[in-house]
Structure 1
Amino acid sequence: MPNYNKLQEIIREIIHQSPQQAISFRDYMELCLYHPELGYYTGSRDKVGKTGDFYTSTSIGGLLGEVLAQYMAGQASQEVWGTAAQSLTLVEWGGGNGGLAQQLLDELKRSYGDVYAHISYISVEISPHHRRLQAEKLAEHLSVGRVSWMTEAEWEACGPWQRTIVFSNEFHDALPVHQVQIKQGQAQEIGVAWDESEEQFKEVLLPIQPESALDTYIRGLEAEVRLLDNQRLEVNLEAPAWISRVGQNLDSGQIVAIDYGDCAAEIYGEHRMNGTLMCYRNHVAADDPYTAPGEQDMTAHVNFTALIRAGLEVGMHAEKLMTQKQFLVENGLLDKLQDAYSADPFSPIARRNRAVRQLLLSDQMSELFKVLILKKGELL
């Protein structure tokens, strides 16, 4: 029996045990992505790259990690962090196969040895499979004591953290979201039930509990954005909650969140009547989250307005919200272009120059992706 059939049976049973004979879409999505044995992100299949389901910026020439290294080395300078001998802790959330961490640490060691000598890298990663992949990729840095792993609870227990940069790449978009439908001016939650006659999942509308976190979010959103009848939208309560938890455990430091999304006015604008939820399998995009549960990625655009507000509530200020293209340019990507002619289009120089240009093209990776930098505390 395929894994998705096994997970489908598990979800069906959970639905049947529910008093409403339905669960929220958020709970359905969480099971599809994070079920301990059968979830998409907890499973052992490749997710990123040619053999996976999608590409990320880390797949393009290793340049994102190099630029992040230059940014973090700049933050670790004497003017920002005090004496060069002070330690700097880098914490990556949801690092996947370890590709970004490898690029980052390799570049710090190669080009910023004085910084590398005083850093520690912590990976907060729930997947045992991904932890194993990270250990393989980071073996060189692990052998000299630069790398360790923690759960979120362990990281929080060691706080409050000082001189710490917490960073993530495409982490918030993969958190489970509520789906909401506006009907006759009333917001209702989309639930997932089981259709016995058709033997498939079906959507139902559920009331939103007054004073719940979802109700509070929707009422706050309606004060900022005009929601239209029949509009469908996603609500990610997990992402701002994560910002709040991490921010509370930072005494001095930063959060650098790289993800695709925008401000609330864009995410919930009238041109988004069907929301932003998308699924990816074998590099094919689709909008049906009920096909092959656990076997496809499911994502939704990040509302950076909500992340900024959550940061402010725990004493962080938004240093910048910019496109990934702007962040890359400001932190030296153009300097990585090499002015050397080669007749071989597959030479290392030609490949690297193509990677730089690809990251700067006005497509989804350069403009749709944003970089949010939140800062807290005196860094000296």
Structure 2
Amino acid sequence: MQRSATSSFPALDSDSAQHSARTAAHLRLAIQTAGGWLPFDQWMAQALYAPGLGYYAASAVKLASSDATDARGTPIALGDFVTAPELTPLFGHTLARQVAQILNDTDTHTVLEFGAGSGALAESVLTGLDDLGITAQYRIIEVSADLRARQQTRLAPYGERVQWLDALPDRFAGCVLANEVLDAMPVSLFCWGDEATVLERGVALDANGEFTWEDRPAGPALANAVAARMPGLPGYVSEINLQAEAWMQAMGHWLTQGAALLLDYGFPRSEYYHPQRAGGTLMCHLHHHAHADPLIAPGVQDITAHVDFTAMADAAHEAGLQVLGYTSQARFLMNAGLAELLAQYDPADARRYAQVVAPVQKLLSEAEMGELFKVLAVGRGIQTPLQGFKRADRSAAL
């Protein structure tokens, strides 16, 4: 299977093009070293995380700023994508209300965030907790040296309250946050063959040394995992995130008390592997251009896949954690008190009110982030129902 044409994609500047060429050379060597074929999860891991080369491991503007402007004050689109914390601090302020309930319920005082991006979520959650009278400690695990440096600059006013960890803790009690983390974990690609056999999709080199898709028979572990989740549909292509499931299972060993809030775009399994979603969910972002070709511009574009939340819930349950809630981002934010925070702004100040409300509408709109993004909570030792799921909890759909 050949890769798609790239003529419609944004042109790369000189530095980006050179960086991508270096990353491509690294990937070609990896393919050759592996015998001419690299499973996609390994390709994705190298394209995103190879030291000094991968998208998240090299210096670049990745996250867009909602208030970035040019010399004339005109908004400009920096980075490759916008996350909810970048849109408005009200996202983190609302999340802080749910975090506060978890900390109070467990008599703990520490938040652990994975993949903290620009630090916008940490900043707004800490501000929200301070407003609630909770002086929390904040810990961050960040694989990108570039993003860690940005976080350290942004969060410097909090001093020793914010610290960065180089490895998972052996034991942790408190609240775990992972906003758009699961989607960036390397996924395996599979395809159902004509005879109901599972094929694994990988990357090879064509006669010109260009990257191309190639399918091979899947190993027993991948084939059995796929067959257990969906019927055989010849030609059906999708993903399975065994690394994310392993991450969830590991959490069952180190999260001794508290809850994890996992915010990401995805579906329950019945929707994820729906017969009509025959092309999978793989998505790339390059300078605000969303597309589905991960073989172009390696090292300078993001690669993600939607989350199978049923798989995440099952992995947590197998590790001894309880599923505490699952719902849409819109419903979670409203349950957690976003409307009350909005009520603090005066509608009579039309300009200011519009500036506040516009990004909130993106967070809540079913046509934008409100329905596509979901929130899953898992944990142990939580005594009271979490307020973010008090209405429209969809746990039964997992």
Report the TM-score when normalising by structure 1. Answer: 0.89
Report 1:350-369 matches (<5 A). Answer: 350-369=354-373
Determine the C-alpha separation between the residues in 2 that align with 1:38 and 1:217.
31
2:156 corresponds to 1:139: yes
Determine the C-alpha separation between the residues in 1 that align with 2:164 and 2:126.
15
Query: Does structure 2 retain, via aligned residues, the 8 Å contact 1:227–1:270?
Result: no
2:54 corresponds to 1:39: yes
Report 1:196-235 matches (<5 A). Answer: 196-197=207-208, 199-210=209-220, 212=221, 214-221=222-229, 225-235=230-240
CA 1:152–1:219 in structure 2 vs 1: closer, same or farther (change >3 Å)? farther
Amino acid at match of 1:137: R
Partner of 1:298 in structure 2? Answer: 303
SS of the equivalent of 1:366 reads coil
2:193 corresponds to 1:183: yes
2:183 to 162, 173, 183: 173
Partner of 2:132 in structure 1? Answer: 112
Query: Does structure 2 retain, via aligned residues, the 8 Å contact 1:34–1:40?
Result: yes
2:257 corresponds to 1:252: yes
Partner of 2:123 in structure 1? Answer: 102
Determine the C-alpha separation between the residues in 1 that align with 2:227 and 2:231.
11
Long gaps (5+) in structure 1 = none
Q: Deviations over 1:170-218 (max 9, x none)?
A: 0000111111011111110001101123x311111112122x2x23321
Amino acid at match of 2:207: E
Amino acid at match of 2:182: H
Identity of aligned residues (%): 33
Determine the C-alpha separation between the residues in 1 that align with 2:166 and 2:232.
38
Partner of 2:287 in structure 1? Answer: 282
2:267 corresponds to 1:262: yes
Determine the C-alpha separation between the residues in 1 that align with 2:257 and 2:182.
22
SS of the equivalent of 2:191 reads strand
SS of the equivalent of 1:238 reads helix
Q: Deviations over 1:19-63 (max 9, x none)?
A: 3x1110111111111111111011211111131001111122211
CA 1:220–1:151 in structure 2 vs 1: closer, same or farther (change >3 Å)? farther
Amino acid at match of 1:216: N
Determine the C-alpha separation between the residues in 1 that align with 2:347 and 2:265.
35
Deviation at 1:354, TM superposition (A): 2.4
Amino acid at match of 1:330: N
2:83 to 33, 38, 56: 56
2:112 to 77, 80, 91: 91
Deviation at 1:17, TM superposition (A): 1.9
SS of the equivalent of 1:291 reads coil
Determine the C-alpha separation between the residues in 2 that align with 1:191 and 1:201.
10
Report the TM-score when normalising by structure 2. Answer: 0.85
Amino acid at match of 2:272: I
Q: Deviations over 1:294-350 (max 9, x none)?
A: 1111111100001000111111111111000011000011112246344653x2x33
Query: Does structure 2 retain, via aligned residues, the 8 Å contact 1:91–1:123?
Result: yes
2:84 corresponds to 1:65: no
Deviation at 1:379, TM superposition (A): 6.0
Determine the C-alpha separation between the residues in 2 that align with 1:238 and 1:364.
28
Query: Does structure 1 retain, via aligned residues, the 8 Å contact 2:140–2:163?
Result: yes
SS of the equivalent of 1:76 reads helix
Determine the C-alpha separation between the residues in 1 that align with 2:342 and 2:117.
28
Determine the C-alpha separation between the residues in 2 that align with 1:250 and 1:25.
30
- The count of aligned residue pairs is 354
Determine the C-alpha separation between the residues in 2 that align with 1:227 and 1:62.
45
Query: Does structure 2 retain, via aligned residues, the 8 Å contact 1:39–1:294?
Result: yes
Amino acid at match of 1:286: H
